[in-house]
């Protein structure tokens, strides 16, 4: 009895140790389609795609279930997992039964080794067109036509009354516009005459400016001639001044020589007398 009890206890202990390890070893499933925010309408084909991580090393299948907003399963099936990429694809379609109601749907997936994942998408059911009673529809059309005819007659009478007033107002407006056009024509003529006068004044002013320009040119030439004459006069004065200076120097030299000669003659005379 003791060995059996020990074996059972050992089995329980191993199970307790292995269970967390298996839980930690379980991977995860991510979805690439439907994308977040996707909305399907009516009966529409779509694909549920995703990937298992880590990539399984042995054959693996993913069980997929789709539940409506009330939690009722509206679609389910298996998809095989690629051992090279870890991806899977499950092709299906929306709608087809009364369980497909408008709202948010949840997609859940679980693979053979405990990996799980989920995503959501929105679904909008198409309201079937209402059915009509043909007889009632014809009566409604007849009643609407009668009402339209009555409204047209009333509107036509109002339109006739309004048109009479509108024609009178339009005639008055046209008369006033004609008067304004005549006045405007006179103003245009006056402006044209004034423009001619201004053009003549501008032409005269251009002639005066030309005359002033010629006078300024002549004055500049006179100023240049006067400047040249003044330069020549200054040169002549300088030359004259230099000539005077040379003459004074010559006279001074002659006077000195005369004085020296006189002194020498006096000296000779004194010597003779002695």
Could you list the residue range(s) of the whole structural domain that residue 90 is in?
A: 26-124
Q: For residue 107, is it within any domain? A: yes
Is pLDDT above 90 for 82? yes
The pLDDT of residue 16 is 39
| Within-domain flag for 40 | yes
Q: Is the pLDDT of residue 174 over 80?
A: no
Paired sense of beta strands 61-67 and 45-53, if any: unpaired
Give a yes or no: residue 104 inside a domain. yes
Q: What is the pTM of this model?
A: 0.42
Distance of CA 38 to the CA centre of its chain: 31
Summarize pLDDT for 140-167 with one digit per residue, the tens. Answer: 888 888 888 888 877 777 777 776 777 6
Other beta carbons within 10 angstroms of residue 86's beta carbon come to 20
Number of domains into which the chain is organized: 1
Domain harbouring 55, CATH code:
2.60.40.10
pLDDT at residue 175, rounded to an integer: 85
Domain membership of residue 142 (yes or no) is no
259 lies in some domain: no
Report the relative pairing of strands 39-41 and 45-53 from DSSP bridges: unpaired
Residue 208 lies in a domain: no
In a domain, 66, yes or no: yes
Local confidence band at 101 (pLDDT 50, 70, 90 cut-offs): very high
Residue 14 pLDDT > 60:
no
DSSP structure string for 48-67: EEEEEESPPSS--EEEEEEE
CA angle 37, 39, 42 (to 5 degrees): 170
197-242: per-residue pLDDT in tens? Answer: 878 887 888 888 888 788 878 878 877 887 887 788 788 878 877 7
> Is residue 139, in this structure, part of any structural domain at all?
no
């Amino acid at each position: 009895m003791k060995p059996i009890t020990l074996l059972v206890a050992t089995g329980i202990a191993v199970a307790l140790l292995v269970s967390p390890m298996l839980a930690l070893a379980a991977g995860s499933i991510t979805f690439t389609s439907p994308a977040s925010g996707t909305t399907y309408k009516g009966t529409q084909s779509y694909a549920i795609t995703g990937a298992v991580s880590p990539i399984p090393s042995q054959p693996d299948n993913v069980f997929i279930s789709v539940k409506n907003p009330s939690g009722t399963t509206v679609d389910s099936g298996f998809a095989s997992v690629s051992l090279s990429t870890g991806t899977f694809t499950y092709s299906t379609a929306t709608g087809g039964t009364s369980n497909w109601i408008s709202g948010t749907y949840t997609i859940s997936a679980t693979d053979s080794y405990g990996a799980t994942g989920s995503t959501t998408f929105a679904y909008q059911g198409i309201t079937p067109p209402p059915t009509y009673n043909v007889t009632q529809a014809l009566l409604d059309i007849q009643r609407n036509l009668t009402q339209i005819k009555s409204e047209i007659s009333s509107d036509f009478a109002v339109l006739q009354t309004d048109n009479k007033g509108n024609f009178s107002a339009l005639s008055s407006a046209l008369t006033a516009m004609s008067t304004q056009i005549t006045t405007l024509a006179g103003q245009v003529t006056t402006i044209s005459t004034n423009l001619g006068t201004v053009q003549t004044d501008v032409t005269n002013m251009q002639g005066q400016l030309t005359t002033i320009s010629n006078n300024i040119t002549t004055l500049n030439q006179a100023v240049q001639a006067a400047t040249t004459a003044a330069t020549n006069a200054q040169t002549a004065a300088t030359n004259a001044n230099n000539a005077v200076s040379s003459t004074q120097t010559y006279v001074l030299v002659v006077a000195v020589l005369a004085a020296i000669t006189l002194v020498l003659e006096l000296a000779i005379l004194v010597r003779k007398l002695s």
